[in-house]
Each structure stands twice: as C-alpha cells, then as structure tokens.
A and B are shown apart, each in its own frame.
Chain A
C-alpha cells in the first residue's frame, strides 16, 4: 500500500533500493510532516515576535527541521555495499541522527533493546512494513503498521 507512494513522487532525490521502499516512504512522509510542523511553529513565533532582540527580522526558515531525526540502522552480519551507500545517502538527505547496531549483526528484538538502552529518551519507533510481509497481516490499521511503542518492542511481530 505505502509502496505505491514511491512511484507517485515526481520530485527527487528519492534514494531507494529494492526492499527498502517501505521504510523510505515512511521516512519521507515523517520528515515531510516534521518539516511542516516545524515551519508552522516557527511562523507562529515570528508572528508573535517579528523581530529578534537586535531588531533584525527573523528569516523565514527553509530549513525543513531543526533537529536531526533519531533513527536506528539494524545492520546485518554481511551488509551489501549498495545498502551501506543507500543508508549513507539517506542519512545525509533526510538529516538523520543515525544509531548503528553492531557490525556483526543482531536480531531486531535485541537491536531495539540496545537502541532503547543507548537512548532512553526514544518514545516510539516508526517501522516500514509491507502489507504482504510475513508478519504484515497482523496489522489492522495503518497506525499499528507504522508504530512500535517501547512497550511493544519485545513482542512486536517484526522483532521475533
């Protein structure tokens, strides 16, 4: 379902490789939503305070988001060069604060636990999942397809 959005985008760059579409679509939508929220918030502040303390007008921000987006890359034991390049390009394109699990590769369940311990402030993770994924049929709504809250990390179908 979400994969179709990839083919609908007419703007680039939109890095992707086979098998990465779901996560990339979700990432693109998430970054777009964060960007819009940030600009709305910034514009509201500018309306209330049109000038800074030095009397200079604030510049209308074209920066899509103020902070890098926290993200986790669960590496496999033998990552392909193409995947590594894709991850690097995606990190740069979408301004990601990327946490990588060990290069030896760990299971997703363990990787999420490692990430949670490394950054306890992370409240939830969005995870791209195909409807026809072996675990995809358990998701009844788009929201449950995307969202993995920390309380669900150990029991999430994708993590087992």
Chain B
C-alpha cells in the first residue's frame, strides 16, 4: 500500500501561500495559476 501524502500535509502549502513573505507570494501565485488551470481543464 502506497504511503500517500495526507491532506493535512498537502494543505501546508496553502498555509505558506497565506504568508506575506516573498516565498508565500510565489506559492500563492503558483496555486492561483494551477487552480485556474484546473478550472479550465479539470
């Protein structure tokens, strides 16, 4: 049985994206782009 990442672990990147640091802004920009792609392509 594979050891998938937990939802909680994956959500950490959203926590990062809420930070005002430069890294947080990069994460937010990347997630926004990915979500727009998911909206378009599912």
A-to-B contact residues, CB < 8 Å: 1-2, 4-5, 8-11, 13, 25-26, 28-37, 39, 61-64, 91-95, 123-124, 126, 141-143, 146-147
Contact = CB atoms under 8 A, between A and B. Distances in A.
The B contact surface, by secondary structure, is: helix
Interface of B: 2-14, 16, 22-23, 26-27, 29-31, 33-38, 41-42
Contacts, number: 94
The A contact surface, by secondary structure, is: helix
Contacts of B7: 35, 39, 61-64
A33 B34 contact: yes
A119 B41 CA distance: 15
Instruction: Please list the 3 inter-chain residue pairs (A to B) with the smallest Cβ-Cβ separation, ordered nearest first.
Output: A92-B2, A32-B10, A8-B23
B33 A93 contact: no
7 contacts: A5-B16, A8-B27, A31-B5, A31-B10, A33-B31, A64-B10, A142-B29
